[in-house]
A and B are shown apart, each in its own frame.
Chain A
């Protein structure tokens, strides 16, 4: 008897649909052992996650609050994925976007709410976009690996924001805490139902729709898909791949930057350390799980929002570190990758001896 692997002629749609769900289930199972090892009952923990994140109006609002930045960042990362470009720098782009929006909110002197919103939006858009655009230029012009550049720029962005809030932008009335002053009312989103749920969510869903139309219904979107799947053919067809690489990374970073705008305008109302507790990294998983679909990003972001809210409550209840969520996300990705194998290949037991 031996195991043989053979490629499937066609991968079944059922398998492709159920693989991500199965991966999450297996990851939950394995993470259960990690929970057990740290002295927490997995069933109690999972029940707690569901109740905290979905069991009440307040819980649901908190989940949507976390879903909001994840949608923006996930959209940004998945747009780059479309062209086989890896934007691992959404985290830094969120920080730069938040910085741009904060600059407008604190120092522009705009009084009108809508003018302020538009100005903050574009400041975040361009700061995030240019930050990613650096990697885009390096990649397009000199073939520099964008994975490493975008990632290293995360550290620089976070340190830069630290520099601002510990230095020039520190609130003079802030008792020396590393925070900027609070924004005025003109620079804040509307909040609903007496919760922290804010308009950023609607902006995020709107962005997802726009991006969906952009990819599926415009020539530019078509070019991105072609360059992603076959760069050589794209070049023969006369597409400017270098320009497209810069453009896609710029747009990818710009969308992630809007998450920064949404966080400062909707939630924090000031710039401070930890404005994003790793949303940019979670976005990579979201983009991969959503298989590059903009609508998929919204759905998966919500699932990750559930996980993050649940993770927070596990920290409160059992003092589990928040970073535990990362271990869980890593497991999901591992199993997702493994499941891809079984979508493409069929493993069979056949009679015979192993030869090679």
Chain B
């Protein structure tokens, strides 16, 4: 029973994990991206279409990354190069994503593909309790484990990672040190957006191998909130994403058991808990326990340097 619940937790948490990681990369460079919901939808549709047309799941994932990368570059261009309002641009990206996927996804509704299959990792998958939920999963889930580590390593052990963090903390100082603020920010936004797209593709290639209009159902917004819960750190993002995967899994379990609580009320739980978690983690920022990038949300113009 616990194993089944944990398994469902990981599967429900993975799309949110990818999205949260992508959003963290954006925000580490100082750019708020409220387009996550739209980017996930673009990734979900591109991933599905890519797999449907080529027959390859791997190409589907690449399509998802590329499409969200391109869509994210609109946000990057507006917020980095043109110094536009990050909140409005992100909202515009979400609207654009919802609209364009509805338009181009119309022909994809009802089609089916063979989604990602489980691949057991020999040895590890035999572990009691955590073996099956964590090591008898599909390749995208293993990729997400790897990504959590790679992103942590990138930020704290590489020069480029230092560059991304410094343009997010103090762009003027980073500029003085020779980091190109606009280049770092541009690629943080686009590559982060690409990862968000893979989160969307997880929904259409693994969770339910089909395309449904608006299939993200607010997961992108949960991811935006989880970035704050995660304190902009990738290992904590994993914790947060699985926390929400767990709530979703339990809610589905309740429904399956035929509880008398209305399904609509149960479906509110993830959103409700996200707000709760947001309140608690905001307190941590206030107490200085969490590291919000100093330059988050502020456009950088060299002429403003003091």
Interfacial residues, chain A to chain B (CB-CB below 8 A):
7, 34, 37-38, 86, 88, 138, 142-145, 147-149, 151-153, 155-156, 159-160, 162-163, 166-167, 281, 284-285, 288, 319-331, 333-334, 337-338, 340-341
| Residues A288 and B99 in contact, CB atoms below 8 Å apart | no
Partner of A159, one of B85, B89, B268: B268
Which residues of chain A are within 8 angstroms of B91 by Cβ–Cβ distance?
88, 281, 284, 333
Which residues of chain B are within 8 angstroms of A37 by Cβ–Cβ distance?
104
| Residues B93 and A152 in contact, CB atoms below 8 Å apart | no
B83 close to A (CB within 8 Å): yes
Give Cα A284–Cα B90 distance, bound, in whole angstroms: 12
Encoded as 1 (CB less than 8 Å from any A CB) or 0, chain B from 83 to 106 comes to 111011101111111111011101
B78 close to A (CB within 8 Å): yes
Which residues of chain A are within 8 angstroms of B222 by Cβ–Cβ distance?
152
Q: A88-B91, A148-B221, A155-B271 are in contact. List 12 more A-B contacts (CB 8 A).
A: A142-B279, A145-B282, A147-B34, A159-B264, A166-B264, A284-B88, A323-B213, A323-B214, A326-B96, A327-B96, A333-B89, A341-B84
B265 close to A (CB within 8 Å): yes
Which residues of chain A are within 8 angstroms of B100 by Cβ–Cβ distance?
34, 327, 330
Which residues of chain A are within 8 angstroms of B272 by Cβ–Cβ distance?
156
Interfacial residues, chain B to chain A (CB-CB below 8 A):
34, 38, 74, 78, 82-85, 87-89, 91-100, 102-104, 106, 213-214, 217-218, 221-222, 224-225, 228, 262, 264-265, 267-268, 271-272, 274-275, 278-279, 282-283, 286, 303
Tally A-B pairs: CB < 8 A.
144
B179 to chain A, nearest CB (A): 12
| Residues A321 and B213 in contact, CB atoms below 8 Å apart | yes
Partner of B271, one of A145, A156, A319, A325: A156
Interface of B is mostly: helix
| Residues B279 and A156 in contact, CB atoms below 8 Å apart | no
Give Cα A319–Cα B217 distance, bound, in whole angstroms: 23
A83 to chain B, nearest CB (A): 14
Which residues of chain A are within 8 angstroms of B265 by Cβ–Cβ distance?
159, 163
A60 to chain B, nearest CB (A): 25
Give Cα A146–Cα B184 distance, bound, in whole angstroms: 28
| Residues A337 and B88 in contact, CB atoms below 8 Å apart | yes
Among B34, B91, B95, residue most surrounded by chain A Cβ atoms (within 10 Å): B95
The residue of chain A having its C-beta at the shortest distance from the C-beta of B279 within the complex is A144
Can you name 14 A-B residue pairings with CB atoms under 8 Å? A138-B279, A152-B275, A159-B264, A159-B268, A160-B268, A163-B262, A288-B88, A321-B103, A321-B213, A328-B99, A334-B78, A338-B82, A340-B84, A341-B83
- A145-B278, A162-B264 known; A34 vs B218 contact (CB < 8 Å): no
B190 to chain A, nearest CB (A): 16
| Residues A167 and B213 in contact, CB atoms below 8 Å apart | no
Partner of A160, one of B34, B88, B264: B264
A336 to chain B, nearest CB (A): 8
B278 to chain A, nearest CB (A): 6
A133 to chain B, nearest CB (A): 14
Give Cα A284–Cα B85 distance, bound, in whole angstroms: 13
Which residues of chain B are within 8 angstroms of A288 by Cβ–Cβ distance?
88
| Residues B103 and A34 in contact, CB atoms below 8 Å apart | yes
Which residues of chain A are within 8 angstroms of B224 by Cβ–Cβ distance?
148
| Residues A326 and B278 in contact, CB atoms below 8 Å apart | no
Give Cα A326–Cα B92 distance, bound, in whole angstroms: 9
A197 to chain B, nearest CB (A): 28
Which residues of chain A are within 8 angstroms of B96 by Cβ–Cβ distance?
326-327, 330-331, 334
- A38-B103, A324-B102, A334-B78 known; A144 vs B92 contact (CB < 8 Å): no
B238 to chain A, nearest CB (A): 20
